[in-house]
Structure 1
Amino acid sequence: MEKIRIPSEARMIVSTSSKGDQSKWFVGNKWIKENTLGYENMAEYVASLILSCSTLPKTSFISYTPCLIEKVDGTVSEGCYSSDFRGMLQEVTLERLFEANFESTDDILNHNGYSTSEKFNAVMEKIHKFTGLDVSQEIAQMLAFDAFILNEDRHTNNILFLFNPETEVWQLAPIFDHGLSLLSDTKDYPLDKPLSILKRQVKGKPFNSSFTKQLDLYKGEPFIDRSMLLEKLDEIPYDVGRAKDVVLSQLRDVRLKKIIIG
């Protein structure tokens, strides 16, 4: 596994997820993230591997590579890295997009009278109003992918938009940050418990805690190529541990058949 040394001048950034803080560094053109709860690096790697076996354009998702991280004090830990996709564009999370327009996603997401689809449609309408973008298909597909990888961290700061201040054009950022997927949190999902039990414990975000209900938002064609994925899983050069077993289990789940080719 590649080792990346963190330079003494590199500034550590604390990234906050729904489960706590994670250390990361921006070195050169790479974002480097350290494991905190379990095997987040392998979850990131396998999730991006799955997307590479899909019909999604390569530019629509971020690839992650597992690595060892050597810190300034000489300690070594596991993590992963990805390339910076922002360039000169400004990043605006879904939450900040609402805040910039003096609104809050909570007004929609916490509305007890709305169904899952009504919450989704209301947020998509706001996005179109604020940016001019119709990204309902893309975000529904992302949520379907989240159902496949059991991503429990798709909060409103993990849906990102990019803004070009020169042209004033908005775009949806590539799909990123899958560290809390594939049961990577070994504290909440112990390695000695059966997958069938653990899978029932995972909750989705942001429109419903049920992955099945969020999956139902996707009305498009199947996009994950089973044959290609199985082939790639057999060629993995790393020990991804339980992450591979979770993927194989998901491929057998009849509820996910609608997004699987073959």
Structure 2
Amino acid sequence: MHIERVSIPESAHPIISTSSKGDQSKWRIGNKWIKQDARGYESKAEVLATLILSCSTLPSNRYVQYFPCEIELPDGEITKGCYSYDFRGDLQEVTLERLFEANFTSTDSITTDKTLSTEEKFQQLSAQIESFTGLNIRQELAQLFALDALILNEDRHTNNILFLYDPKFKTWSLAPIFDNGLSLLSDEKDYAPGKPISILKRKVKAKPLNSSFSKQLSLYDGPPFIYKKQLITRLEESPFDFGRAKTVLVSQLNDPIFQKLWIEGENND
């Protein structure tokens, strides 16, 4: 498989993106966002998350597509990463956390309240979002948490859920799903290669409502949305080497807890 090489010009300054695990360098060049692997194989996790979503009922504008690349730094060093295309256009991006701050509150008042169940946190968060934006995104949010459980995304903090505001029409929309890099045990610093996947999986903590992926998964009661057979076929036929990310996903696909996500039969696309 041919992997595109992206050269970073001297004039391009890295934008340091902070995750719950530390910093990652990324660059905006034209309409492309380029992200460099920082802790392991984040780019493979991003590309595999794209493959999963392409085998789902979500339309392509509901998620950001990531493509693998080699990154040539200005000093000539070659590193691994991925790129995506800018989806914002003329719209203003507002993270979930910023949305709450703009309304003189914080998501912490809900997400860290130990007196609330995961379901109660979800309902209160969704109700606040609706009061701030007019959007009822309960199903989309629950679906996002279900996806995160499947891919073991440990970085869905409140700055990784994004809204888009149209200042001309004063309307809100939910941004496409993005930033899935800290998934599928991609952080090799915390999840050492060579250790049993079954043990490593138990170490991963979910966000933002509960550290348990299964409790966040239980919020989703919508229709199945992933074509499992198609996903397995495309995973096996892909010329791209997903490495351990593929092994982790296959392990997840065999877990009966995810049965409610699978669409029986084939996607005829």
Regarding TM over 0.5, the answer is yes
Cα displacement string for residues 67-111 of structure 1 (whole angstroms, at most 9, x for unaligned residues): 000011111100000010001100000000000000010111111
After the TM superposition, which segments of 4 or more aligned residues of structure 1 sit over 6 Å from their partners? none
CA distance in 1, matches of 2:242, 2:249: 11
Match of 2:108 in 1: 106
Deviations 1:112-139 (A, max 9, x none): 1100010011010110010000001001
Matches of 2:168 and 2:248, distance apart in 1: 44
Match of 2:202 in 1: 200
Q: In structure 2, what is the Cα distance between the partners aligned to 1:10 and 1:89? A: 23
Q: Which amino acid aligns with 2:124?
A: A
Q: Distance in 2 between matches of 1:66 and 1:234?
A: 18
Q: For residues 86-165 of structure 1, what are the structure 2 equivalents within 5 Å? A: 86-165=88-167
Residue 215 of structure 1 pairs with residue 217 of structure 2: yes
Taking the aligned partners of 1:199 and 1:118, their CA distance within structure 2 comes to 26
**Partner of 1:22 in structure 2?**
24
Alpha-carbon deviations, 1:169-216, whole Å to 9, x = none?
Answer: 000000000000000001111111111111111110000000000001
Structure-2 residue corresponding to 1:67: 69
Q: Tell me the distance in 1 between the aligned counterparts of 2:136 and 2:11.
A: 41
Alignment partners' CA distance in 1, 2:176 and 2:251: 26
Letter in 2 for 1:93: T
What do you get for the CA RMSD once the two structures are aligned?
0.7
Corresponding letter in the other structure for 1:123: L
Residues in 2 aligned to 1:35 and 1:213: alpha-carbon distance in whole angstroms: 30
SS at match of 1:261: coil
Secondary structure at 1:104 match in 2: coil
Q: In structure 2, the residue corresponding to 1:124 is in which secondary structure? A: helix
The residue type equivalent to 1:60 in the other structure is R
Shift of 1:247: 1.1
Picking from 8, 11, 26, the partner of 1:9 is 11
Gaps of 5+ in 1: none
Give the TM-score normalised by the residue count of structure 2. 0.96
Report how far residue 237 of structure 1 moved. Answer: 2.2
* Whole-angstrom CA distance in 1 between matches of 2:94 and 2:106: 14
Q: Where in structure 2 are the equivalents of 1:48-59 lying within 5 Å?
A: 48-59=50-61
**Count of residues paired in the alignment:** 262
The equivalent of 2:267 in structure 1 is none
CA distance in 1, matches of 2:138, 2:6: 38
CA shift for structure 1 position 235 = 2.1
TM-score w.r.t. the length of structure 1 is: 0.99
Aligned equivalent of 1:178, options 172, 177, 180: 180
Matched, 1:167 2:169: yes
